[in-house]
Amino acid sequence: MGTTAWLLVGLGNPGAKYAQTRHNVGFWWIDAFAEEQETDFKPAAKFFGDFARVNWYGHNVLLLKPTIFMNHSGQAVLALLNYYQLSPERLLIIHDDLDLPPGSAKLKRSGGHGGHNGLRDIINRLGRRDFLRLRLGIGHPGSSQGVVNYVLNRPSAADQQAIEAAIAAGLEVLPEVLADDIEKAMHRLHSQL
């Protein structure tokens, strides 16, 4: 695959029922990138997801949207990493984050799962946590009892607009991410939102 290959995985739940929900903002981001690149996802059973591949400024970029439920995301990530013999150091997971307000986007390398079932499964299956994450803020309902209902529903119009701005900001720093200039990407991203 070469040293410049990257795997970008947007997290979400499959099916029309979940498409517009807060928990699927990882899918929204990766769909926006694929649309920019004028590429389409194709079903790939061996990766448990929809897969696309682009050459972007000399980088092989593999895109994956798992088509299994969020709490099994690690199965899809591990299948693709193993197939292409990629290191998790070349993995970017894009996911929703309850701890950030809508409109916020943060890059983070390593860390825990913060209660996110997709991240929990990825960490468990990889046996490591030192991969890169793009955290897209969706806000918090205010109580832990309301979290499931909150993430599985649509954002308000104002929150939707804020999330879309965060998605655009995340896409803008992707050149630095793929060039392994994570510090520069973080600085740019964290200072503009």
Residues belonging to the active site: 23
Beta strands in 13-85 (DSSP E): 42-44, 49-56, 59-66
Does 24 appear as a known binding residue? no
Q: Residues 78, 13, 170, 63: what is their CA dihedral angle, to the nearest 10 degrees? A: 40
Per DSSP, the three-state class of 85 is coil
Q: Report whether 94 contacts 170 (CB < 8 A).
A: yes
Does 117 appear as a known binding residue? yes
Does 18 appear as a known binding residue? yes
Per DSSP, the three-state class of 120 is helix
Backbone angles phi, psi at 179, to 5 degrees: -85, 10
Contacts of range 150-156, beta carbons closer than 8 Å, 24 or more positions apart: 150/22, 150/98, 151/21, 151/22, 151/23, 151/96, 151/98, 152/13, 152/18, 152/21, 152/22, 152/23, 153/21, 153/22, 154/20, 154/21, 154/22, 155/22, 155/102
Does 69 appear as a known binding residue? yes
Annotated binding site for tRNA: 18, 69, 71, 117
Which residues are known binding-site members?
18, 69, 71, 117
